[in-house]
Amino acid sequence: MVDAFAPELELVFLLIIWHSINMSTTALYPGSFDPVTFGHLDIIARAARIFDTLVLAVGAHHSKTSLLPLDQRLSLLETEVATLNINNVKFITFDGLVVEAARNHSAGVIVRGLRNTTDFDYEAQMAAMNAAMAGEVETVFLSASPKTGFIASSLVKQIARMGGDISGFVPPATARTVLKALKT
């Protein structure tokens, strides 16, 4: 019986393991998620199938006035993503540059969703700015799915403010939180 591999074989195994670890791709999906919508969840489910690890990064965005505070945006995102049954996601918050958040979490890819040409114009410029700052981080765009591509967090908030039904755009727990936040 052979109780140990030949040293050369062990080295080959170690090299294969080292190689596969280094081939794994971590992507970061940054956003305001104010609030998370079915559109975000669609991008998350699809990106999680493409990349080994998906870091969901909720931005503090001091320049933007958000309806929900950062901790609530994060906890809603965690709650809603839990329903997707995916196990390769991590959650973080960040304050500052997206490329710094990507570097800090060893993400070689930034994922963004594209709904229309307005998104494209803005996102293409942002991707170029990020590439100029961090050439090692690639931006990958996923085009929005037809069923959810019209949803925007900003419109969800506007509709809710005017008493409209938002149940087709955000999951129930998120809808309840948005309505509560608008009442306070």
Taking the least distance from each CB to ligand ADP, the nearer of 30 and 137 is 30
Measured between alpha carbons, how far apart are the two ends of the chain, in Å? 73
Residue ranges in 145-164 that form contacts with ligand ADP under rule CB under 6 A: 148-149, 151-153
- Residue 32 touches ligand ADP, criterion: CB under 6 A: yes
Distance CA(183)–CA(158), nearest Å, equals 13
Tell the smallest beta-carbon distance from residue 119 to ligand ADP (Å). 5
Distance CA(99)–CA(138), nearest Å, equals 10
Tell the smallest beta-carbon distance from residue 27 to ligand ADP (Å). 13
- Report residue 94 as tokens: 């960040």
- Residue 100 touches ligand ADP, criterion: CB under 6 A: no
Distance CA(126)–CA(18), nearest Å, equals 34
31, amino acid identity? G
- Residue 43 touches ligand ADP, criterion: CB under 6 A: yes
- Residue 39 touches ligand ADP, criterion: CB under 6 A: yes
